[in-house]
Amino acid sequence: MSELRYDDRVVVVTGAGAGLGRAYAHLFASRGAKVVVNDLGGGRHGDGSSSKAADTVVEEIKSRGGIAVADYNSVVEGDKIIKTALDNFGRVDVLINNAGILRDKGFARISDQDWDLVHQVHLKGSFKTTQAAFPIFKKQNYGRIIMTSSNSGIYGNFGQANYSAAKMGLIGLANTIAIEGKRSNIHCNVIIPTAASRLTEDILPPDIYAELKPELIAPVVAYLCHESCKDTGLYIDSAAGWAGKCEIVRSKGSLLRNSKNDGVTIENVRNVWEKVKNMEGASKLGCIEEATLSLLTTLEEMDGGAGNSNETPASTVDDVYKYNYRDVIIYALGVGTSLKNEGELKYIYENHEEFTALPSFFVLPAIQSIFMSDFIEKAVAGRTVNLSQALHGEQYIEILGNLPTEGTLVSKASVVEVMDKGSGAAVVVNVDSYTPKGDLVIRNQSVIFCVGAGGFGGPRTGTKAVQCVKRPQRNPDKTVSQQTGVDQAALYRLSGDLNPLHIDPNMAIISGFKTPILHGLATLGYSVRMILGAYANNDSTLFKACKARFMKPVIPGQTLKVDMWRENNRIYFETSITETNTVVIGGAYIDLKSINMQPTINKLSSGLQSDAIFEFVIDQVKADPAKAKSVGGVFLYKITKDGKEAKQWTMDLKNASVYEGAPKDVKANTTLTISDDDFLALAQGKLNPQVAFMKGKLKIQGNIMLAQKLAPILKANAKL
């Protein structure tokens, strides 16, 4: 594995003249960084100052071939330290706020000076230094910041009230810097070290002290500051060659009143106190909005009796769906995204400038919500539905907002209708997903067919399910095929649906299949991806909605063929298995906000570039025959290559038909002769038709006026 390097990075370490800071400075320098070794060189209690501490470390680094410069300023003058970095190295990339002192005293004896000095060095010093570096980080769209906290802050420690308060303050500071910096690729994380140093020599027992080398913590800090580390806002505890993440969690809590009209009495609080404190099912809340939203949703669900009853009040905590780039990529791979397919790198590479989630990824929060609830089991009054008999019948998804590649969604699921289909019950579940701020961004609807749960006397048809559609009866406008992998279901299940039916041969047999089957939603994901490739140039933001009915299972390894019909911005589609000619998804469509088709031109192939433009024109004409007919006329194109005629194409716009070769059963009104290269340039708008005509690049015979009306049909708007 390649070594993680910091070449060309400038790292500022405060308090680097001793202990942990010294170890950090050495490690960064040994991996190619230019290091500013800051140290005031004072005493353990913040007294005195000397340049010796910093100078010694700089000398040590230089003697090992590293690059370093000393800085003797107090962190309270953080801007001067950052200036040292700029003056000597011209930039700054990483800031480790490490300098620290102790002034331990029993709480009652802490003087103002003890309080102020400790706060000055730890909290104010980190604030000043970071504030000086922050605009530089922002400008260069890169920065890594470490704050140094302490277990003494997190848990408290006798005799360290001033220090504990300052160290906990640093966590608050890091929290907000992580939020404010995120957009500019500025990460801020917290290290909670325990190491042998002069600060701990009389605090830690001697045998433990010997194990706690600062060098064992330095790699954790260095990794957090590497450009490849994506994390921000973490608190990492580390000591003696171990590291772990700390989190602040909140219990599920309890409602304190019966209804929104009631007040809260002290007795209400006493009655539910154990529940308030019960940490079973506690969760970490990702951000302040999430904390507020989860509270609001809990309040909304206040349905009486909660304040004093023993029932656990309804909560939406379980419906929080958090995802990041890994989930997005694993899903994309699960639905067959491949480097072989042009334009799909953006779905599987987090550093791609257009990195994006496939829209069908956003069925996952809804599916999680349904799995987490017992809706389906309880959907039919008076019966318990056996989940192993539940089949996913239909899915609808609509995307209402822009969805990032990482984030948190809060979903609310509800059964909106149960139909009695005789042999089974069809349960319609709506799941609406919100951002932590409360904006509705996704609407999902699943129709679940529960075999054997019918005959309960319910209505046979309903009104709530989004309807499937009939596809056009003509031949498909486009067809795209792709073989699934034999391990496709094994990969797709990592996106959350761990039902053993998709991987375990025994479970498959018990469920009535010969072998494990692919998830229906994986087949849907394949279809959505292929349609986006065909009609949206892989631009997932053009996706509006999709409805599909699952008809038959797919066995991993089979080839999926997606037939597509375009009518305006709606793409009707049908997915079938090539090997068995079985339709697996039907009644389906995708609505796009607009169409973006790009002719794909393979410049390396020996074929003609103009072929792709004509293919594109064929699609355009099919999609909007009326527009073609409004131009009218029959055009014969003679495409030349190296001075010789290479191919003929007919654009019969009277009949909205475009094909290779000379006109069939009609006469050309206009014949255009042009080279393959010039035709491409024309279609791309790089060559003006009049200029081409004047220069003799475009020869026109017959009706010249008619040729002038061609432009809108030809315009490829191509990004080639």
Judging by DSSP bridges, how do beta strands 634-641 and 644-652 pair with one another?
A: antiparallel
Could you give the C-alpha distances from 158 to 45, 152, 163, 554, in angstroms and in order?
A: 17, 9, 11, 64
Could you give the C-alpha distances from 519 to 395, 422, 516, 550, in angstroms and in order?
A: 13, 26, 9, 10
Distance in angstroms (rounded) separating the CA atoms of residues 517 and 505: 9
Is 189 an interacting residue with respect to ligand NAI (CB under 6 A)?
A: no
Judging by DSSP bridges, how do beta strands 424-434 and 440-451 pair with one another?
A: antiparallel
Nearer residue to ligand NAI within complex by CB, 197 or 445: 197
Q: Which of 10, 25, 94, 101 binds ligand NAI (CB under 6 A)?
A: 101
Distance in angstroms (rounded) separating the CA atoms of residues 226 and 145: 11
Residues 6+ apart with CB under 8 A from 212: 194, 195, 196, 200, 204, 239, 240
What's the closest the beta carbon of residue 231 comes to ligand NAI, in angstroms? 20
Is 17 an interacting residue with respect to ligand NAI (CB under 6 A)?
A: yes
* Tokens at 412, concatenated: 């609310």
Nearer residue to ligand NAI within complex by CB, 150 or 356: 150
Is 488 an interacting residue with respect to ligand NAI (CB under 6 A)?
A: no
What's the closest the beta carbon of residue 214 comes to ligand NAI, in angstroms? 6
What's the closest the beta carbon of residue 407 comes to ligand NAI, in angstroms? 32
Is 445 an interacting residue with respect to ligand NAI (CB under 6 A)?
A: no
Question: What DSSP string describes 370-431?
Answer: HHHS-HHHHSSTT----GGGEEEEEEEEEE-S---SSEEEEEEEEEEEEEE-SSEEEEEEEE
What's the closest the beta carbon of residue 16 comes to ligand NAI, in angstroms? 7
Distance in angstroms (rounded) separating the CA atoms of residues 445 and 354: 28
Please state the separation of Cα 707 from the chain's center in Å.
Answer: 48
Select from 41-49, 180-188, 526-534, 624-632 the region that touches ligand NAI (CB under 6 A). 41-49
Select from 14-22, 105-113, 328-336, 610-618 the region that touches ligand NAI (CB under 6 A). 14-22
Select from 36-44, 279-287, 493-501, 601-609 the region that touches ligand NAI (CB under 6 A). 36-44
What's the closest the beta carbon of residue 163 comes to ligand NAI, in angstroms? 7
Is 238 an interacting residue with respect to ligand NAI (CB under 6 A)?
A: no
Is 393 an interacting residue with respect to ligand NAI (CB under 6 A)?
A: no
Please identify which residue in the block is written with the tokens 């989630």: 357
Q: Which of 10, 84, 85, 125 binds ligand NAI (CB under 6 A)?
A: 125
Q: Which of 13, 133, 195, 399 binds ligand NAI (CB under 6 A)?
A: 195
In the 8-state DSSP scheme, what is residue 124?
Answer: I
- Phi then psi for residue 126, to 5 deg, are -65, -40
Select from 187-195, 253-261, 556-564, 689-697 the region that touches ligand NAI (CB under 6 A). 187-195
Select from 12-20, 304-312, 457-465, 650-658 the region that touches ligand NAI (CB under 6 A). 12-20
Q: Which of 11, 12, 13, 18 binds ligand NAI (CB under 6 A)?
A: 18
* Tokens at 689, concatenated: 């038709």
Distance in angstroms (rounded) separating the CA atoms of residues 561 and 530: 10
Q: Which of 11, 12, 14, 221 binds ligand NAI (CB under 6 A)?
A: 14
Kindly identify the residues of this chain, within the stretch 66-95, that bind ligand NAI according to CB under 6 A: 74-75
Distance in angstroms (rounded) separating the CA atoms of residues 623 and 594: 12
What's the closest the beta carbon of residue 1 comes to ligand NAI, in angstroms? 29
What's the closest the beta carbon of residue 33 comes to ligand NAI, in angstroms? 19
Is 98 an interacting residue with respect to ligand NAI (CB under 6 A)?
A: yes
Is 376 an interacting residue with respect to ligand NAI (CB under 6 A)?
A: no
**Coil, helix or strand at residue 307:** coil
One of 163, 331, 434, 492 is an active-site residue; which one?
A: 163
How many residues make contact with ligand NAI (CB under 6 A)?
32
> Quick one: residue 253, left, alpha or beta (phi over 0 = left, psi -120 to 50 = alpha)?
left
Answer whether 316's CB lies under 8 Å from 300's CB. Answer: no
* Tokens at 312, concatenated: 């656990």
Select from 34-42, 178-186, 678-686, 702-710 the region that touches ligand NAI (CB under 6 A). 34-42
Distance in angstroms (rounded) separating the CA atoms of residues 528 and 469: 16
Is 130 an interacting residue with respect to ligand NAI (CB under 6 A)?
A: no
* Tokens at 204, concatenated: 């830690």
Q: Which of 11, 15, 531, 540 binds ligand NAI (CB under 6 A)?
A: 15
Is 197 an interacting residue with respect to ligand NAI (CB under 6 A)?
A: yes
Q: Is 163 a catalytic residue?
A: yes
Side-chain-side CA neighbours of residue 417 (13 Å): 16
Question: Exposed e or buried b for every residue in 238-265, given b needs 16+ CB within 10 A?
Answer: bbeeebeeeeeeeebbbbbbbeeeeeee
Is 118 an interacting residue with respect to ligand NAI (CB under 6 A)?
A: no
Distance in angstroms (rounded) separating the CA atoms of residues 517 and 538: 28
- Report which of 621, 597, 630, 592 is spatially closest to residue 716, judged by C-alpha positions: 597
Nearer residue to ligand NAI within complex by CB, 119 or 250: 119
What's the closest the beta carbon of residue 144 comes to ligand NAI, in angstroms? 17
Is 57 an interacting residue with respect to ligand NAI (CB under 6 A)?
A: no
What's the closest the beta carbon of residue 200 comes to ligand NAI, in angstroms? 4
Is 169 an interacting residue with respect to ligand NAI (CB under 6 A)?
A: no
User: Where do contacts with ligand NAI occur on this chain (CB under 6 A)?
Assistant: 14-15, 17-21, 38-42, 44, 46, 53, 74-75, 98-101, 121, 125, 148, 150, 193-195, 197-200
Question: Catalytic site residues?
Answer: 163
